[in-house]
Structure 1
Amino acid sequence: MISFVIRLKSRAHFVLDRGLNARGEAFVGTNARRRKQARQRVAIMIAIFSAVYLLIGGRLLQYGLSEPVLSASIGGNGHAIASRPNIMDRNGELLATDLHMVSLYADPRRIVDADEVVEKLALVIPNLDWGDTHRKLRSPSAFQWLRRQLTPRQQAEILALGLPGIGFRPEKRRFYPGGATASHIVGHVNVDNQGLAGMERYLDQQGLADLRAAGLTDDARLAPVRLSIDLRVQNIVRNVVAKAMTDYEAEAAGAVILDVETGEVLAMASVPDYDPNAPSRTLADGSVDKDYEKGWFNRISNATFEMGSTFKSFTLAMGLDAGKITLNSVVDASRPIRMGGFTIRDFRGKNRPLSIPEVFQYSSNIGTAAVADMVGIDGHQQFLTRLGLLSKLATEMPGVATPTQPRTWKKINSVTISFGHGVATTPLQTAVAAAALVNGGYLIPPTFLPRTKDEAQALATRVLKETTSADMRFLYDWNGQRGSGRNAQVDGFHVGGKTGTADKVINGRYAKDINFNAFVAAFPMDKPRYIVLSIIDAPRTGENGGRTAASTAAPMIKAIIQRVAPLLGVQPRFGTPEAEMRLVDY
């Protein structure tokens, strides 16, 4: 019995003592207390888990409702994805546009194994610099570019690798469908889509760079920019000058076509040139190909040359405009001129008095010098300044070269400049001045943007009398029919012009066996609409073995006009204008 009572008490876990303790409260058994604590702990755990899940759910909801964060906002240049306007030719043909690309970056803080990342990326990215990439991946920074402008296939292959700490950033890459065709006009951009040369740089200078800096062009569609050039004509001009450089074994060549009534540049090519889609080229050893980058140099607007006998056009126009000579005037070219220790001779001179058309036809240095002497030193300098040949050309194209001239003009300077030695100008401004000789006497600033005749006339400056311009049209036509311009003649299009063969200046001295040749032409001569100027630098040979402008630069003009004249809407006219007029009269 005693043992039974003890067992019962141990199982009851409480002692009944009048049912109440000293405070009048019921004793709580040990099991009940433990159950109550367990329930409290479970309730606390439920509350904690509920709070965590509510927090996670709230964050997910926040992310779902918020705008997506583009990888473009992570480090790097904040304006790399800025848009640029399409560039088109005068007919709406595309010259430059933006392509959507991606670039590869890394957050080195999240890279687990830099060696593994480098090895796997090298399988996808050609020519990956292992050392440089490894250094970037071990950098303490939060952002490192690994490779700019990947192809979609490369992006997909890298994504398949599943590398932590590696990401992609959307960018835009400039694409030039025509490649090198108009490279010196259109120019190119850098990897951040910022204009570096040509009209691309001009656009940035006109405020596009400021818009980019303000973040206003990231996704904006900008209106396309039309240029004055005709892509069809541009392609022909480039092909002709490239072929001439090869055929005549020259260092360089170039040409430009100008509308004499509006000043619009319809085509401009200079070779060697380059592909703006890949403005730089890396050699096998990792160095930059400097010879390839020489193609950046635009010899039509960014370089100055002594233009040789093409300057005789301006000298005779000066004499005619000043009233010192007429087309019927005769100058003595029977003997050389000795001046200041120099002797001025004619190349294959006639050694007799020459009329003004003969001075132009035979390209007489002696006759031209005589005309310059009639006008005088001050008048000569003022006339060339009026034609814009001694000052920097005003146009949209960046990087235009500044002409050079003697610090002090003396008589010997005036004499040599009269036939194209002693003053160096750009071929483009030579073409602009020549346009003023044949368009009625108006100097019109050149433009690479479309311009109407009315807009051009508002900008034009009269620099010659109308009668002087008519006389120069006669001289150009005369030389095209009877003189050195015959090799540029195209049946039906009445080409006139003037050759220029100059000894090239090397190390400050004239080289007798190396020429810089040019030809400035206008067509059709009964009513000129276009100026075409060609240059060729240091040709070793030419047509029939000659190295002068008549054998090199003039045939280039012929090849260009034969192909571009129909595209420009010039109708061929056979026979002389005088003959056609007589037929109409009868």
Structure 2
Amino acid sequence: MNTLVVRPTRVRTAGVRQQILLTAQQRLMILMLLFMAAFFVVSVRLVYFALFDTASGRAPASAFVPARADIVDRNGVPLARTIDGYSIRVVPSKLLNNRQYLADELHKIFPDMSREELLGKVSGSRPTYIRRRALPDQVAAVNAIGDVGFDFPREKERLYPQSTLAAHVLGFTNAEGHGVTGVEGAFDQRLIDKATRGQPLALSIDARVQGVLESELSAAVTNLEAIGGAGIILDVYTGEVAAMTSLPTYNPNKLTGSDPATRRNAVTYNLYELGSTFKPLSIGAAIDNGVVTSMAKRYDATKPLAIAGFRIRDSHMMNRWLNVPETLIHSSNIVTAQIGDQLGREKMEELFRNLEFDGRPHIELKERAFPLWPKNWGRVTTMTASYGHGIAVTPLHLASAYAALVNGGIWRPATLMKLGDKAPPQGRRVFKASTSARMRQLLRLIVSDGTGKQADAAGFRVGGKTGSAEKPGVGGYRRHSLVSTFAAAFPMDNPRYVVLVMIDEPKGNAYSSGQRTAGWTAAPVVRKVVTRAGPMLGVFPDESRDVDVSELTPLLWRNGETE
């Protein structure tokens, strides 16, 4: 007989169950604390490596820092950056195919290179580059040839995503990645320094405004069949350059095959006799020095001015006596020369030195030309320099001078750096504040009633001066080769920006009604640029405001008599 023994069911009391739950909770808490401790240790180690570990081969801190700093415009738009790109290299000792065949195939891919040049590369004894900064389709095409003698090393490549935009401002780098010209050359150390290359270099340039200036000036140069042009927009109070362009231009992404002459920055490196745009500067100095005390005083412009065997003429003889407002409105060389003669050599030379016309233009770029300063400051030189002949400067010299003329009289150096919250340079006084106020009236009058009418952008109160100067050549000036310039500022009741446009050798054609002078060629460009770029710069049209010229308009000759 079998005996069945049954174990009674364990009865767990409430106290036992609570103890089990408590133990489980304690174990979970311990596991959680261990996990948190491990996570904390790992985090601390990662932070340590990122901040302090500079051992060879372990540099997480620099892994996200570019080899060369980005360059951006004042709003953060990228203008230059470094990326990883492909190059195409050939190692002749590893080539398997016939060299003639390879040269033929490569020439199909690179038609800009001669077959003989390519044959020399594949037949050489040393590894050599076929193309640096190669395009993806070029890499794929060479790879498709199927020869192990080609390799495709990844290299740091400087990319200019806006193509030709602000090319002369930005400049370019060489094969070793160092800056050659422009901002790239001027700030090379800042752009590659480990301590600073992680931060983009912010320029004063506004890419939108730059695009407007380039498109309008380019259209004018093309339509006028000119050989080139230059333009700049300058903040009159800070010296910041909002836009700067030089034509013809180039693409810094594609230097191979481009004309080196196109890389010259006409704004800072080319010298020009800028003609009648000097007249407001000379008359401003004459007002400052008490030579001109009344706007109503008249000067003889009935005939050419004879001096030392020369005759100073006006392009359009008025054949009457002119006062100062009329002198500027009609751009009289004869009267300006008389005023310059009364001002005298010492004061005229002092003016030009105060405006820095005796040295390279002040800006960060290396490409800056030294002006052509008169060798002998005789009486004739003083008179001709008063209206912009016999002295050659860069367009940037003139733009900075006009900023001082309209901003209350303070000259400041130009800069390509965004100042942001930084105070602008203190500058120094060149014109009296009262003289600056008078010149704002006169410059506005030139646009409303004179040679600059075609620069008048509705509501923007543009003021400025035309300048059409014959280019010097062998044996004298070339009558049919003009440099046409319009130097302007807006809005003239409270100037914010100088706009200077220069067109080199415009043709008188249907586009300009057969005229080559600045009033017909450069002035319309200023109007279009101001109309488009003004709102981008924070200046909006307001036709209810203008400069008060009520005391000057009665002095103007209308219908044979003054008002």
TM-score, normalised to structure 2, is 0.79
One-letter amino acid of the structure 2 residue matched with residue 478 of structure 1: L
| Bigger shift: residues 121-130 or 438-447 | 121-130
> What does residue 24 of structure 1 align with?
none
Structure 1's unaligned 5+ residue stretches are 1-65, 69-80, 282-288, 582-586
Given the superposition, is the C-alpha separation of residues 200 and 408 from structure 1 closer, same or farther in structure 2, using an over 3 Å criterion?
Answer: same
> What does residue 47 of structure 1 align with?
none
Structure 2's unaligned 5+ residue stretches are 1-55, 59-64, 551-563
* CA displacement at 1:306 relative to structure 2: 0.4
Say if 2:466 is the partner of 1:499. yes
Whole-Å Cα distance in 2 between the matches of residues 544 and 159 of structure 1? 56
CA contact (8 A) 1:87 1:227 kept: yes
Whole-Å Cα distance in 2 between the matches of residues 370 and 278 of structure 1? 52
| Bigger shift: residues 511-520 or 109-118 | 109-118
Given the superposition, is the C-alpha separation of residues 131 and 558 from structure 1 closer, same or farther in structure 2, using an over 3 Å criterion?
Answer: closer
User: Whose radius of gyration is greater, 1 or 2?
Assistant: 1
Say if 2:430 is the partner of 1:463. yes
Given the superposition, is the C-alpha separation of residues 227 and 82 from structure 1 closer, same or farther in structure 2, using an over 3 Å criterion?
Answer: closer
> What does residue 176 of structure 1 align with?
160
> What does residue 535 of structure 2 align with?
566
> What does residue 377 of structure 1 align with?
345
> What does residue 246 of structure 1 align with?
222
Runs of 4+ in structure 1 displaced over 6 angstroms? 578-581
Whole-Å Cα distance in 1 between the matches of residues 447 and 98 of structure 2? 72
Aligned partner (choices 487, 490, 500) of residue 454 of structure 2:
487
One-letter amino acid of the structure 2 residue matched with residue 267 of structure 1: A
* CA displacement at 1:147 relative to structure 2: 3.1
> What are the superposed Cα offsets for residues 327-382 of structure 1, whole Å, 9 maximum, x if unpaired?
43514223322111101122323333322212111211121111111221121111
> What are the superposed Cα offsets for residues 406-464 of structure 1, whole Å, 9 maximum, x if unpaired?
11211000111111110001011101001000001110100111125862143x11111
TM-score, normalised to structure 1, is 0.76
> What does residue 349 of structure 1 align with?
317
* CA displacement at 1:122 relative to structure 2: 3.0
One-letter amino acid of the structure 1 residue matched with residue 374 of structure 2: P
Whole-Å Cα distance in 1 between the matches of residues 329 and 547 of structure 2? 21
CA contact (8 A) 1:349 1:362 kept: no
One-letter amino acid of the structure 1 residue matched with residue 237 of structure 2: E
* CA displacement at 1:236 relative to structure 2: 0.8
Given the superposition, is the C-alpha separation of residues 371 and 452 from structure 1 closer, same or farther in structure 2, using an over 3 Å criterion?
Answer: farther
Tell me the secondary structure at the aligned position of residue 460 of structure 2: coil
> What does residue 407 of structure 1 align with?
375
Aligned partner (choices 177, 187, 200) of residue 203 of structure 1:
187
Given the superposition, is the C-alpha separation of residues 490 and 130 from structure 1 closer, same or farther in structure 2, using an over 3 Å criterion?
Answer: closer
* CA displacement at 1:259 relative to structure 2: 0.5
One-letter amino acid of the structure 1 residue matched with residue 519 of structure 2: A
Tell me the secondary structure at the aligned position of residue 513 of structure 2: helix
What pairs with 1:285-304 in structure 2 (closer than 5 Å)? Answer: 292-304=259-271
CA contact (8 A) 1:124 1:157 kept: no
Whole-Å Cα distance in 2 between the matches of residues 534 and 132 of structure 1? 43
> What does residue 480 of structure 2 align with?
513
Whole-Å Cα distance in 2 between the matches of residues 499 and 153 of structure 1? 50
Whole-Å Cα distance in 2 between the matches of residues 200 and 352 of structure 1? 55
Tell me the secondary structure at the aligned position of residue 503 of structure 1: strand
> What are the superposed Cα offsets for residues 165-208 of structure 1, whole Å, 9 maximum, x if unpaired?
5433221222222212211111222333332221111122x455
* CA displacement at 1:476 relative to structure 2: 0.8
Q: Taking every aligned residue pair, what percent have the same amino acid on both sides?
A: 36
* CA displacement at 1:125 relative to structure 2: 4.2
Whole-Å Cα distance in 2 between the matches of residues 124 and 353 of structure 1? 72
Given the superposition, is the C-alpha separation of residues 482 and 112 from structure 1 closer, same or farther in structure 2, using an over 3 Å criterion?
Answer: closer
CA contact (8 A) 1:114 1:134 kept: no
CA contact (8 A) 2:270 2:369 kept: yes
| Bigger shift: residues 508-517 or 152-161 | 152-161
Say how many residue pairs are matched. 485
> What are the superposed Cα offsets for residues 463-505 of structure 1, whole Å, 9 maximum, x if unpaired?
1111111111111112121111211101111111111111122
- CA RMSD of superposed structures (Å): 2.9
Given the superposition, is the C-alpha separation of residues 464 and 579 from structure 1 closer, same or farther in structure 2, using an over 3 Å criterion?
Answer: closer
CA contact (8 A) 1:327 1:357 kept: no
What pairs with 1:221-232 in structure 2 (closer than 5 Å)? Answer: 222-232=198-208
